[in-house]
Amino acid sequence: MISHFIKRNNKIHIQSFSVRHDRLPHFLQLWHHHHELELVLVIRGEGTRFIGDSMDPFGPGDLVLLGDYLPHRWLNSPEYFDGRGLIAEGIIIHFERSFLANALYDIVEFDSLLNLVKASDRGIVFKGSSRSEAPARIYKILDTVPGITRMIYLLDLLRILAEEKEFEFITSPGYIDSIYEKDVKLRKVNDYVMNNFQSAISLRDVADEVCMNEAAFCRYFKKATNTTFFTYLTEIRIGYACKLLQANNNDTIAGICYESGFNNLSNFNQKFKQYTGYTPSTYIEMSK
């Protein structure tokens, strides 16, 4: 695993999970993924975090849980790279899905924790009281020697996160990276879509990628993802359009429409409101 805050040899290894406290001139700007879930608390530092198909600002207090195989990076603002002596600081906890799934699967009292792990597939940013409650428990984990007590602190931390009512999913609904990571065909489909969604994609094009006929592919994709391929493709395009609108780079709505893979402005406006609840112009105003 390549870690995005500091060299691997500074990581503290224990049997079931690991924790690391990093203080650096800037977070390492590396796009990567790994087989562990990752909980990140930003203590100092500002910039943009890229997770899956999302692009959002981060700052002190940012608390994020990422599912396994969900690609990500934390990129500090430009002033962290010009020798001003600024410091980026964060605490990172890694644990494997099996840490909870295997040990707690048949214990009903832990269902909320298992649901939290499942929800992390899209990435979660916590907004409510957990942002004030979690840091003290994270420091307890950091300061406690490996053993049962430290594991109890981790379970208590995950309980707080699982009970949080104020949170947001990070990636768009169509982003299913952690699911297709385990399915070769879905991986090929997603790679094709992510490389070509800004252009026209036909059902024949994508079915050919996995050596299936169109009807068989439609049945397979619906069964594997619980959605249709074109719904998934539209969600990817809308998610990308949202990023461009949020960036507020003075691009026109028509330009963003075509940049996102739509070939008709009227259809883009209709789909955007259907999937987000807002018109593109309203979305721009809300993002300011």
CA-wise closest residue to 287 among 252, 256, 236, 244: 244
Looking at residue 211, its pLDDT comes to: 96
Low-confidence ranges of the chain (pLDDT < 70): 1-15, 29-31, 101-106, 176-182, 247-249, 287-288
Of the residues 116, 144, 169, the one at which a domain ends: 169
In a domain, 3, yes or no: no
Using an 8 Å Cβ cutoff, are 229 and 221 in contact? yes
Mean of all residue pLDDT scores within the chain: 84
Domain that holds residue 133: 8-169
Cβ–Cβ contacts within 10 Å for residue 148, how many?
A: 8
Amino acid making up residue 236: I
Burial class (CB in 10 A: 0-12, 13-18, 19+), 126: buried
Number of compact structural domains in the chain: 2
Residues 143, 71, single domain; the answer is: yes
For residue 223 the two structure tokens come to 């069964």
Using an 8 Å Cβ cutoff, are 35 and 98 in contact? no
pLDDT in tens, 219-270: 999 988 888 999 989 988 887 788 778 766 678 999 999 988 999 999 999 9
Residues 276, 216, single domain; the answer is: yes
Residues 200, 94, single domain; the answer is: no
Of the residues 134, 169, 204, the one at which a domain ends: 169
Looking at residue 137, its pLDDT comes to: 96
Looking at residue 96, its pLDDT comes to: 87
Looking at residue 113, its pLDDT comes to: 87
CATH number, domain containing residue 136: 2.60.120.280
List the Cα angle 226/227/231 in 5-degree steps: 165
Residues 160, 182, single domain; the answer is: no
* Three-class DSSP category at 136: helix
For residue 23 the two structure tokens come to 């203080």
Of the residues 115, 140, 169, the one at which a domain ends: 169
